[in-house]
Amino acid sequence: MARLSHLDRHGQARMVDVDAKPVTHRVAIAQGAIKMRPATMRAIVGRSVPKGEVLAVARVAGIMAAKRCGELIPLCHPLGIDSVEVSFDWSSPAGQRREHTSLLIRATARIRARTGVEMEALTAVAVAALTIYDMCKAIDRTMEIGGIRLIRKTGGTGR
């Protein structure tokens, strides 16, 4: 069984010591999706959602969340992120019911550090999706958030 780095030898939670790790350029890309009715998509694209410009607000929310990840996740290192990008792409995945469409959310986080930025990229996607849900819930309570996962990470040693 693999040893979990967030547990000490007694099984107690701890913050991982990254002091001995080299500083490297690291990149993490995460994505997820929010499924919604086509009418909701049209309202977002047409900028007619009563709460405002959904994608602009969700992009800023995702960036802000990535920057505060160390405050949200207890054992996550607080990081000075070099950049975070949040993008959106409309899709209609195979096998999906016609009465729904999906908005793919992708976040890319970059840093030069001793630890990775996977959690920051994942948090950016999750909070961007939650922001979209919050802004559109009055017009569509059928929305579903899902598929949030790490797509790629680079940097560090041996992984």
Q: Which amino acid is at 109?
A: A
* Phi, psi of 113, deg, nearest 5: -160, 180
CB 36, CB 101: distance < 8 Å: yes
**Cα–Cα distances in angstroms (integers) from residue 50 to residues 46, 87, 127, in the given order:** 11, 22, 20
Q: Is 140 a catalytic residue?
A: no
How many residues in total does the chain contain? 159
Kind plus residue range of the DSSP H or E element containing 45: helix 38-45
**Annotated active-site residue in 8, 17, 19, 134:** 134
Q: Which residues are catalytic?
A: 134
